[in-house]
Structure formats: structure tokens, C-alpha cells
Amino acid sequence: MNATVELAGNMQAWAFPRDYVRGNSRLRNGQGLSGTVDALLQYLRADNAIITAVSRKFEDAGNAVEPWYGTRFRTRPLAQQPRWLRVPAAPGLGLPDPNPFLPRNLELKALKSKPSSKNAIVLPESKIEKVWEAFFTQDTEYGVPKAFAFIELRTKLPRSSARAAVCARIYESMFRQALQETLLYDAEVAGLTFAFSTSMRGVELFFGGFDDRLSDFASTALGELLAFDVAKNAQGFRAQADLLQRELESVDTQEPFKQASYWSGLATLVDEISFKELQAALAGLKASDVATFASALWASPVVGLSLCEGNLRQDEADSLISNVRNLLKSENFLAAPESEWPVPRVAKVPVNSFGQGVVLVHQITDPTEENSAVELSFQAGSTRSGSAEDLKRLSELQVLSAILSDEFYEELRARQQLGYVVSCRLDRGEGAFRLVFLVQGAVLGPMEVLDRMDAFIKSGMSLIDAKSERDIAALADSLAQDMRSLSDALRNC
């Protein structure tokens, strides 16, 4: 759809069909083009510029009034002084160096075919490895010259304590900021992306974009990350520590529905660290502490997991991962059985045969907030089990959520007007899926709102009974089609 809209716009702006697609992304060769460019450059002089200055001190000097807002302003011509015409070039000003990541080969490496449900293959060299598992899937569906590499380094260190979690956050943001105007900017211009983050699983790395330079980019970006010296960037540390402090302080003033989600997550995600613990760990933290953490981080993984997919041949994926492993020195990983790999765990909420189940009650942390929020959730299973039963239940819940969501909003928001934040959704956080109902407002107290939500849920069966088998099948097909919209997202990313 976006391509169609853009094409229609270009048809209005360009005279020839050959220009509709390329639009203004390329200058056409033709007689007089160089002269036109030279004339334009000659016109770009300081004495032809309009310079706008804004200041409260200019108010009294204004000799005219802006008609919409009554703002006083003043205009005057620039003095025709010779120095305007003899401005020396700024030191270092010039064309940028050639971008090494621009793709040169856009060859599609596999014929398009119908989507397959086959699992990713295991790359040959990793079949007998104890410290690395590598998987590969070649794109035969989307037909774009792009590829992606997802890498997980399993280690408990990033969430082993509140202090480690704070160090991890600052380390991530310092690196992103330091390389934003150098490596990452060139990569973005060339259609490449690199992401580095940490979680309960360990370290997560992502490389994506045009496949022609992806392997070189992955090696360069990872090399820069491993060589990044936190201790030599004290200013960057102070800036990122301050931003994190502000972020943690803002939790107290978040909207009630966000606080409700935070408290339910803190209660069910095993070993989750509270924002109060993070605040305490941040106090007194030094750049040297983050540097020590960073050094320990790359020596702590027990196993590496990788998936390459897209417009790659198997040997190219193998080469990319081999380069990554060499940089990480994966032969030194502390091999451990899968049972010891760090994995986020979600507590199973006990089910009561009668009554209201488990109820968490927390005071809103913002004393000026007039609204309250109620989050009602039903755990239903886990995608990590891999069982056909759980996957079937997940599909059923997706359809059920689609049936209930619009009616839940219509009943509690439009008819009963209980609040302005009303939703029903399916959540799949950390592999555990649950059906979540949420209402935020100030009309009724939380327990009264909970009674209204319970009443709606009890009437939910009538909404399902009102649907025919054909209606439900059409809805399921529509949801499946929505999932396939990844194709459009991939083409435009």
C-alpha cells in the first residue's frame, strides 16, 4: 500500500514513466544539467540567506506584529559587508569518506517458493559443538536481498543482581551513544542495523539489512563493541547514569494502568528486580564499576545460540557465525548442560476453586493521581512447552481475544463509561500466554470495577454462542493473514 501511494505521488511530480519509480532519488543525465547545478551552487551565498533569530530580548525591538498570535518581530536586511563573501571553509569540511557498507550486489540467492513449515537447519560445523548451536533458514518467500542474524549468549551475569542490571543498562546505552555518529550512522544510511541488549537470558545481538555487506558489518560492529572502553568515557557514563536515574524516578508518576502491569509482572516473573532495587544500586555507581562489569560480561557465557535467515547461502551464514565466534573467543565459553542455561521463568498463579483468586492491591505512587486501574489476567499455558496442546490453546485464545476485545471496550467504555483506558488483549510475555483485561478510570472504586469485569466475563459465553462456525473460521483466517503481514514489513525495513 505504501509503495502504491508513493508511486501515485511520483506520477504527479514527474513527466516520464521511467521516473515514477526512482522519483527524486537519482538525477537524470541531460543537456544543461551541470550548468543548472553550478548555477544553484552559485546562488547558495550568505547574502541570499534568511537568518532567523529568536529571543525574549527581541520583544521590545519589534516593529511589526504577527497576525495570528500577536507576537512582535522585526526584519532588516543583512549588511553587505565583504566578509560575508569571504567566509573560509570550516576545518575538516568536505565530502564524507566512502561508506564501506553500501550494498553492491542485490542478487537473490534462492528461487521463490511456497512458504514451508520446516524448521531451521543446523549449520554443519556446530552439530558437535557443546558451546554453540547455530541455525540457518534461507529465504524462499519474500524475495528481498536482505538477511538477519540473531545471536544469544546465555549468561546469568546481566541479571545476577540489581547492581549488575544497572551496569548492563548503562553499558548498553553508552555504547549506542558513542557509536551513533560514526559506525551506526554509516550503517543506517546503508540499510544495516545492529542492536545490543541484555536480559535474563544473557546477551542479545542482532545484525540485519542488505546481505551483501552484512558479514563485514557484523564483524566490524562486534569488534567495536568488544573494544569499547567504558573507563575512558567518563562524560558518557555521567550522561547515561543521569538518564537512567530520571527514568527510574518517573516510575512513580506513571499512569495507573502501567503501574498495575508493573506490579503484576513483578509478582509473576521469577527473580525480577524492582525499580527501587535498581535505584539503590545506581546510587554511588562509578564508571569503573561498569568497566569491570563489561570485562566480566564477555568472559561469562556458557553457550551461544544463533539463527541466520534471509538472502544467504549456507556457507555465507556459516562464515558470518564463524567470524562472530572468533571475535567472541567462543572456545573459552564455560560449557554447561541446557538445564543450567539462564531462562526467564514465570510463576504459575494458583487456581482457587471458588472466590476471586489471587488479588494484588497496591497504592498509586503518584499522590496527585485521581484514577485507579484494575488488571485482570488469566494464565493459560506456555509456548516453551512445545506441546501441541499448548499451541492449540494459544490459537484458541487468539480467536477468543479477538471476539471479546471489541465488545469489552464497547460495554465497559462506551456503555458503562467506567474509564478511558479499557482493553482486552492476549499477552505472551516470556513465553507464558495469558488473557488480560484492563480498566483505568475514576468513576468507581477498584473492587467495584472488578465486579463489572467479572460480570462481563461471565456473559462472554453468549458472545461466542452468537458466532456461527463460519464466523469463527473467517476470524481465525483473518488473524492468520495478519501474521503474514510480516512480508510487507520485511520489504520495507
Question: What is the structure's pLDDT at 120?
Answer: 60
* pLDDT value of position 126: 47
Q: Which three cell numbers stand for residue 140?
A: 524462499
Mean pLDDT taken over the chain: 86
Q: Is the pLDDT of residue 32 over 90?
A: no
pLDDT score recorded for residue 289: 96
Rounded mean pLDDT of 51-77? 77
Model confidence at 420: pLDDT above 80: yes
> For residue range 431-467, what is the model confidence (pLDDT) as tens digits?
888 999 999 999 999 999 999 999 999 988 888 888 8
Of 69-78, 128-137, 187-196, 252-261, the range with the lowest mean pLDDT is 69-78
pTM: 0.78
Let me know if 282 is exposed, middle or buried by CB neighbors in 10 A (0-12, 13-18, 19+): buried
What pLDDT is stored for residue 249 in this prediction? 93
Q: Does 350 score more than 60 pLDDT?
A: yes
Average pLDDT over every residue of 413-418 = 94
Residue type, 454: D
| SS3 (DSSP) at 365 | coil
For the cut 60, the answer to whether the pLDDT of residue 492 exceeds it is no
Q: Where are the beta strands (DSSP E) in 211-254?
A: none
Q: Output the nine-digit C-alpha cell for 238.
A: 555521567
Average pLDDT over residues 280-304: 94
Distance in angstroms (rounded) separating the CA atoms of residues 183 and 369: 44
User: Hey, is 364 helix, strand or coil?
Assistant: coil
When pLDDT is cut at 50, 70 and 90, the band that residue 28 belongs to is low
- Pairing, β 303-310 against β 132-138: parallel
All three cell numbers of 351: 487456581
Q: Which residue has the higher pLDDT, 483 or 84?
A: 483
Identify which has the larger pLDDT, 482 or 281: 281
Asked if pLDDT for residue 23 goes beyond 80, the answer is: no
158-189, pLDDT tens digit by residue?
A: 999 999 999 999 999 999 999 887 888 899 99
The pLDDT, as a whole number, for residue 129 is: 60
How many angstroms separate the CA atoms of 147 and 210, rounded?
Answer: 6
264's enclosing H/E stretch is: helix 256-268
**Per-residue pLDDT tens over the stretch 92-147:** 777 778 889 999 999 998 877 665 555 566 655 444 467 899 999 999 888 899 99
When pLDDT is averaged across residues 22-48 and rounded to a whole number, the result is 69
pLDDT at 128: 43
Q: What is the pLDDT of residue 352?
A: 72
pLDDT-derived band at 53, boundaries 50, 70, 90: confident
Residue 224 CB-half CA count within 13 A: 19
Burial of 339 (0-12, 13-18, 19+ CB in 10 A): exposed
Which runs of E-coded beta strand occur in 408-491?
Answer: 421-427, 432-441
What pLDDT is attached to residue 198? 96
Lowest-confidence region among 57-66, 187-196, 269-278: 57-66
Q: What residue ranges define each of the domains in the chain, with the CATH number in brackets?
A: 2-85 (no CATH), 121-340 (3.30.830.10), 372-492 (3.30.830.10)
- Tell me which of 169-178, 272-281, 362-371, 386-395 is least confident: 386-395
Answer yes or no: is pLDDT of 335 > 90: no
Please report the pLDDT score of residue 124 as a whole number. 55
User: Do residues 428 and 384 make contact, with C-beta atoms less than 8 angstroms apart?
Assistant: no
CA terminus-to-terminus distance, the chain: 14
d(CA 296, CA 287): 14
Q: CA dist 329 to 131, 157, 426, Å?
A: 11, 18, 41
* pLDDT score of 340: 82
- Would the pLDDT of 409 be above 80? yes
Q: What's the pLDDT score for residue 238?
A: 95
Indicate if the pLDDT at residue 373 is higher than 70.
Answer: yes
Task: Report the C-alpha gap between 177 and 173 in whole angstroms.
Answer: 6
Q: Using pLDDT thresholds of 50, 70 and 90, give the confidence band for residue 476.
A: confident
Least confident of 287-291, 381-385, 487-491: 487-491
